[in-house]
Amino acid sequence: MIKEYITRQHYLDRVRPYIGKDIIKVITGQRRVGKSYLLFQIMDVITASDPGAQIIYINKELYEFDFIDNYRALLEYIKNKAKSKKNRYVFIDEIQDIDQFEKALRSLSAEGGYDIYCTGSNAGLLSGELATYLSGRYVEIKVFCLSYIEFLDFHKLQNNSGTFLKYIKYGGLPYLINLKLEDDIVYDYLKNIYNTILFKDVVKRHRIRNIAFLERLTIYLADNAGSLVSAKKISDFLKSQKTNISPNVVLNYLSHLESAFFILKVRRSEIAGKKIFEIGEKYYFEDLGLRHTIIGYRQADIGKILENLVFLHLKRSGYSITVGRIGEKEIDFACEKEGERLYVQVAYMITDQRVHDREFGNLLRIKDNFTKIVVSMDEMTGGKFKGIKHVNIKDFLVFAV
C-alpha cells in the first residue's frame, strides 16, 4: 500500500509474532486512533518479506465497498480476488459494518490458507457469536490514542511543560499532526469525531431513541471523570434535573459508550482480599481531547485530567487495573501484570503536609513489597519516602512501568 505513516512500533511488535499464523488478528479501538494505518504498516511488512503476497483489502468506510454488507458478499468478494491458494492475506477495516461477518471469518478459517486481519470500533466484536464461532482462533490487539511519548514523536516536540500542556488539552488522536495545535482548529475537528462516535457507533448501532439523554450522560461522565459513580447515582442526579431515567437504562447507555471505546470503566477492589465490588466504579475517557469537546478544557479539572492520563498509560502498559480500597481509604490504581503488582496515587501538586500525608499515607497502609508510586506535577521529584517513589508525571509518561 502506498500510504505515508509514522510507524507505531509498539503495536507492530505485538502483531508481528502472529503474521503468517493460522489465527485471526482482531485490531480493536476507538475510531480515529490509527487502526487503519496499523493495517497499512502490516501490509508493508508482509510485502517486504513476501513479494508474491496477495493482498485483499476491504475498507467499509469507503463507498466502493458498500455492496459488501453481509457475510455472503464478503466471502464472494474475497474468493473472487484470490488468484491462487498461496500467499493470501485478507485485511478488513471496520468489519462490524458487515452483517454476520463472523460466519465469513469462520468459513475462511476452516478452509485454511488465509492470513486474516480485521479492525473494529466496537468491543462487541469479541463477544457473543464471534467468541463462540472462533474460540481460540483469534487474538485481540487493542490500539489506543497516542501515548505521550508517541505524541512527542509524531509532532516532533521536546518533552517540556508547553508540550505537555498541548497533550493534555488536545489529546492523542494521530490526525492532529496535520492540524495547527490551536484551540479553534483542533476542537472543530474533535467535535466532528465526537459526533461520529456518538451517532454512528452508539445511536445508529444500538438504535438509541433518547439522544438528548445520551448527550446529557456524556456531559455527566466528562464532569465526573475519575469520580466514583453508579447507575443509581447518575439516575438520581438526572431526576434532580427533571430527567426521569431508570438505573437499568443508564447501565445500557453506559455499556454502549464503553462498547464504542469512548469511555473505559474501572471497578473497585479490596486490596487485602482482591474482592471486586459490584457497585460504584470510575469512568475515564479514551481520549482527553474528546472529553474536552464536551465540557471544555478547564484548569480546575487538572486533577481529573492527570488521573485520566495515568490510567491510560497503565492500560497501554498492559496492566489489569482496579480502584483499590484498604479500609476506608482509596488507592487510585491497583495494577497487576504477570503476577507483579503496582500501586499508584495521582495528585496535582504535593502542596503541604496534609496532601503529602494523604497521598503517601494511603500507600503506606499496603503491607506488601510491590512497587508504590505517587505521580504529580511537582518538578522537584525523584526521591522516595519510606520506599514510595515520587515521580513527575512527564517522566512517568515517557517510561514503561
Condensed to tens digits (0 to 9), the pLDDT of residues 155-165 reads 999 999 999 99
Q: Are 187 and 72 members of one domain?
A: no
In which domain, by residue range, is 391 found? 148-398
Q: Given 142, 172, 192, which residue is the final one in a domain?
A: 142
pLDDT at 60: 96
Domain end, chosen from 121, 142, 163, is at 142
Residue 56 has pLDDT above 80, yes or no: yes
Are 69 and 163 in a shared domain?
A: no
Q: How many CA atoms lie within 13 A of 228 on its CB side?
A: 15
Give the tens place of pLDDT for each residue, 168-182: 999 999 999 999 999
Q: Running DSSP on this structure, what letter comes out for residue 19?
A: T
183 and 329 housed in the same domain: yes
For residue 122, what is its C-alpha cell? 466496537
Residues 282 and 161 in one domain: yes
What CATH number corresponds to the domain at position 53? 3.40.50.300
The model's pLDDT over 90-134, given as tens digits with 9 standing for 90+, comes to: 999 999 999 999 899 999 999 999 999 999 998 877 776 667 777
Are 29 and 142 within 8 A, CB to CB? Answer: yes
**Residues 235 and 262 placed together within one structural domain of the fold:** yes
Q: Are residues 13 and 138 in the same domain?
A: yes
Residues 138 and 191 in one domain: no
Position 1 in a domain: no
Confidence band, pLDDT 50/70/90 cuts, at residue 46: very high
71 and 201 in a single domain? The answer is no
Share of the chain above pLDDT 70, in %: 97
Whether 244 maps to a domain, the answer reads: yes
pLDDT tens-place string over residues 268-283: 999 876 677 767 899 9
383 located within any domain: yes
Q: What is the pLDDT of residue 70?
A: 97
Same domain, 198 and 173: yes
Cα separations in angstroms, 215 against 92, 308, 315, 317: 31, 21, 26, 31
In a domain, 373, yes or no: yes
What would the DSSP string read from start to end of 206-268? Answer: HT---HHHHHHHHHHHHHTTTS-B-HHHHHHHHHHTT----HHHHHHHHHHHHHTTSEEEEEE
* pLDDT of res. 328: 87
Q: Are residues 256 and 389 in the same domain?
A: yes
The count of structural domains within the chain is 2
Cβ neighbors of 177 (< 8 A, separation 6 or more) are 6, 154, 155
Domain for residue 305, yes or no? yes
With a cut of 80, say whether residue 135 has pLDDT above it: no
pTM summary value = 0.93
The residue among 381 and 306 whose pLDDT is bigger is 306
Residues 209 and 232 in one domain: yes
